[in-house]
Amino acid sequence: MPPRVGVQIRPNHVNWDEMAAAWRYADEAGADSIWTFDHFFPIDGDPDGTAFECWSTLAAMASVTSRAQIGPLVTCTGFRNPDLLADMARTVDHASGGRLVLGLGSGWLERDYQSYAFAMSRDADRIREMEAAIYRIRHRLGQLRPGPVGPLPILVGGLGERMTLDVCARLADAWNGWGTPDEIAHLNGVLDRWCERAERDPARVERTVALFETASDSTYDDYAAAGAEHLILVRSGPDYQIEELESLLVWRDARSGA
């Protein structure tokens, strides 16, 4: 299968018009996916800088884009009632013409929880809560009228080998991780083994990797060799510097023979 590429356009340290312009640029350039994140404050640079909320951003960006898949990388299952989150995701899926990927995670930033008065459980408990939320989300998606217009795949993000990857192997359509190519190769192997224990074909779980550092064609090849199927640049405002997306797209097209 040809590799896919995307970009996470973080909604912090930027004004709305600058962020929307970056989304348009990525979509028109040919990115396969465009993502935001689910934090209430910047997670890089000035912690008191500007930031926009995840799902309001996604709903608006659905009309700014027309080609790429869109989604949160990732949304915290502890911030919203799972049934409500399913309804929100279904609605954004319609707004985008069926392009939404529902990226889910267990959360980690204490400031998010404390500032918005959300209870923050222990790490293991939050992963169990995420698993329960996935079941509720899938059930609610089956009850909503109308249902999603697209496939609305569920992606699980995280590096936990004992719990997160187990949940991903059993319940998700895609996984997002990060690290060096060697670390990704190791985590892919762990995920494969969890899939086998669940009697599920490992090929049914797409492997996505977030790239936080500037990379090169040789690095992209290393990630592909490690099992990455979808490389996602991570970029923050105010100057998103997503020109690297163009070189990544050239690499994708060369590998796919386009």
Average pLDDT of adjacent 10-residue blocks, the chain of 258 residues: 95 96 97 98 94 98 98 98 98 98 98 97 98 98 98 98 98 97 98 98 98 82 97 92 90 88
Q: What is the pLDDT of residue 258?
A: 65
Residues with Cβ within 8 Å of 48's Cβ and at least 6 positions away in sequence, in order, are 41, 42
Element (H, E) at 102: strand 102-105
CB 158, CB 106: distance < 8 Å: yes
Sign of CA dihedral 2, 177, 204, 173: negative
Q: What is the pLDDT of residue 243?
A: 82
Alpha-carbon distance of 130 to 80, in angstroms, equals 11
Q: What is the pLDDT of residue 241?
A: 83
Q: What is the pLDDT of residue 217?
A: 74
The closest of 211, 169, 214, 213 to 187, measured between CA atoms, is 169
CA distances from 5 to 124, 163, 247, 248, 250 (A): 31, 27, 11, 7, 10
**DSSP structure string for 22-42:** HHHHHHHHT-SEEEE---SS-
Residue with tokens 């995920």: 191
Alpha-carbon distance of 40 to 78, in angstroms, equals 13
Alpha-carbon distance of 209 to 228, in angstroms, equals 6
CB 221, CB 231: distance < 8 Å: no
CA 5 to chain centre: 12
